[in-house]
Amino acid sequence: MIRNGQYIKDLFQLAPGTKATAHGWVKTRRDSKGVSFLQINDGSCFADLQIVIDAGVADPAVLVQATTGACVRVPGTMVESLGKGQSVELRAEGLEVLGAAPPETYPLQKKRHNLETLREFGHFRTRSNTFGAVFRVRNALAFAVHKFYQERGFLYVHSPILTTSDAEGAGAMFQVTTLDMMNLPRDPATKGIDFAQDFFGRPAFLTVSGQLEAEIFALAFTNCYTFGPTFRAENSNTPRHLAEFWMIEPEMAFCDLEGNQQVAEEFLKYLITYVMDHCKADLQFFQERYEPSLLPTLENVANNQFAHVTYTEAVSILEKSGRNWEFPVGWGSDLQSEHERYLTEEVFRKPVIVTDYPKSIKAFYMRANEDGRTVRAMDVLAPGIGEIIGGSQREERADVLVDRIREMGLDEKHYWWYLDLRCYGSVPHAGFGLGFERMMMYLTGMKNIRDVIPFPRTPGHADF
């Protein structure tokens, strides 16, 4: 195996004259006057390492197999490079082709492929420049998430994938069953499906959120966070929706809406700063190839204090704008992307946190305000994308929570344990959710969410 110090990113740090062995996949090859030049990459960094193979160094029968896509091992000596964009290259002293890639059938030949074409070859797209950069950023971002919370004493909670609770009340859930679909048992009384005979004795689903379970831990460990896959059975084919995606959901006891806003702002700035510090070459590539304003936009978020407005104030600003909105603005309607981007990009010119939304458009668990019309919700809006974080202070009063559950048409029996938390040692607490793929789109400038997750799950597509 390759160990630290042996990756291509490490070879670039070696002084000329140092012996080294490079491993990787051939990106391009050219031949000139008996000398072969290979560009290889092992995924450890954006830059390719140039391999110079002089005439007679490699067996011709082996050299002919070193084409685009082939996997090679090359021993040699690091030497100063005369080429542009690199200080050193490897002068080969041998060549081993570990896996050939016949050029007549290998789908990723030396040319620029569009992203839609690359999605058709999801098992090879990771070898392209774009997706190499995407998944290095994704790796750094995931590490930064854990680093942020671990440095602050949060407990990492593995929330369940299978659940009988709908945290959002939206109903767009994947049902899980072991029943024989060709011979479903029926309840004699209702004539409906008898889920008492199912594995869990009742309907079960893939989770839409780990929030409710995280609240259990927050009310024992004070601060915790979940970071895992969530699922929505929405038949949507937009560039912003997936059936399976990852969510980061911190929950904090002894915390109100103001404290929630502070953590959300610190978190967003931390993630951006970390990735900018650790993935400079990758972000520069995204700016050059996909989003010219990427780095200035990220710096704006990382270096500015966020603005704060209430939902009511935001609606007033939008109504007075004189704009002919595609989606009408009015108190009681949710803000749309065009509204959110107007606030962040034209009014405040920086991130904005909007609070105190109408309770009619928010989930049952959000703490009711004294006005009886709004809840202690918050959305963090960022220039270039709109909403990027959503959260709230949670309702800690048992009687108010019961009323909200009934009002939303949910079965309170399914939330007995959630209500128990409000009856025994309840405490004001708050939390929020950040969609990992939404953050990835923001950091990379990629326009389609399918291009920032390793294996996208969308209607009709569940390959790999």
Look up residue 229 and give its two tokens. 């896959």
Query: What is the predicted pLDDT for the residue at 143?
Result: 98
- Per-residue pLDDT tens for 182-221? 999 999 888 899 999 999 999 999 999 999 999 999 999 9
Q: What 3-state DSSP class applies to 295? A: helix
| Helices and strands (H and E) in the chain: how many | 13, 17
| Residue 280 pLDDT > 70 | yes
Decide: 202 and 225 in contact? Cβ < 8 Å: no
| Residue 422 pLDDT > 60 | yes
The share of the chain scoring above pLDDT 70, in percent, equals 99
Query: What is the predicted pLDDT for the residue at 98?
Result: 98
Cα 67-68-71 angle, rounded to 5 deg? 80
- Per-residue pLDDT tens for 88-123? 999 999 999 999 999 999 998 777 778 988 888 889
Query: What is the predicted pLDDT for the residue at 170?
Result: 56
Q: How confident is the model at residue 83 (pLDDT cuts 50, 70, 90)?
A: confident
Q: How confident is the model at residue 169 (pLDDT cuts 50, 70, 90)?
A: low
Share the mean pLDDT of the chain: 95
Decide: 160 and 208 in contact? Cβ < 8 Å: no
Query: What is the predicted pLDDT for the residue at 168?
Result: 64
Report the alpha-carbon distance of residue 387 to residue 361 in Å, rounded: 15
Decide: 436 and 396 in contact? Cβ < 8 Å: no
| Listed range (80-84, 130-134, 276-280, 328-332) with the worst mean pLDDT | 80-84
Q: Residues near 329 by Cβ (< 8 Å), separated by ≥ 6? A: 315, 318, 319, 339
In 3D space, the residue among 226, 247, 442, 448 whose CA is nearest the CA of residue 351 turns out to be 442
CA 40 from chain center: how many Å? 28
- Per-residue pLDDT tens for 229-238? 999 998 888 8
| Listed range (115-119, 375-379, 397-401, 439-443) with the worst mean pLDDT | 115-119
Decide: 292 and 445 in contact? Cβ < 8 Å: no
Query: What is the predicted pLDDT for the residue at 121?
Result: 84
Query: What is the predicted pLDDT for the residue at 138?
Result: 98
Structural domains of the chain in order of their starting residue, each with its CATH number? 8-111 (2.40.50.140), 127-173+208-451 (3.30.930.10)
CA 190 from chain center: how many Å? 43
Report the alpha-carbon distance of residue 427 to residue 154 in Å, rounded: 17
Answer with the residue of higher pLDDT: 268 or 413: 268
- Per-residue pLDDT tens for 174-184? 999 999 999 99
| Residue 154 pLDDT > 90 | yes
In 3D space, the residue among 363, 431, 433, 357 whose CA is nearest the CA of residue 401 turns out to be 363
Strand intervals (E) in 153-301: 155-157, 162-163, 175-176, 204-206, 223-231, 244-253
| Residue 311 pLDDT > 90 | yes
